[in-house]
Amino acid sequence: MVFTRESLWALRKEIVLNSLFIADYRNSLNIEPQMLCCFFDGFLEEVETQMEEEIPGFKDAQFFDYLPAYDTPDRLWNYYSSIESELTTWEPEVMEAA
């Protein structure tokens, strides 16, 4: 499945970003929660890198203060479009007729 910007953001809104619990990555598309956790962990690493580059004097302790401004559909789409991961090639399972 190739996500669109809108469908990727809808998926993002279904999960609890940065959760320690894999169950918080369950989703309506039945994508394996562990896969989503890994994908969104990578997104957060990219966001932190962007914060370090764009915010003068940025400190790790400020990450969650700035996160709402960086957790956006455009940044998520740019991350998704720039990497290769299981999620970028994920296809839904097709149920065979009996």
pLDDT tens for 19-68 read 999 999 999 999 999 999 999 999 999 999 999 999 999 999 999 999 99
pLDDT for 95 equals: 45
Residue 20 DSSP code = S
Per-residue pLDDT tens digits for 88-98 = 666 666 545 44
Sign of the C-alpha dihedral computed for residues 48, 81, 75 and 71 taken in this order: negative
Q: Is residue 81 part of a domain?
A: yes
Please state, rounded to an integer, the average pLDDT across all residues of the chain.
90
Q: Is residue 32 part of a domain?
A: yes
Q: Is residue 98 part of a domain?
A: no
State the residue range of the domain holding 59. Answer: 5-85
26: helix, coil or strand?
A: coil
Q: Is residue 97 part of a domain?
A: no
pLDDT for 10 equals: 97
Q: Is residue 9 part of a domain?
A: yes
Place of tokens 């003068």: 56
pLDDT for 87 equals: 72
Tokens found for residue 18? 């940065």
d(CA 12, CA 76): 9
Number of compact structural domains in the chain: 1
Q: Is residue 66 part of a domain?
A: yes
pLDDT for 5 equals: 95
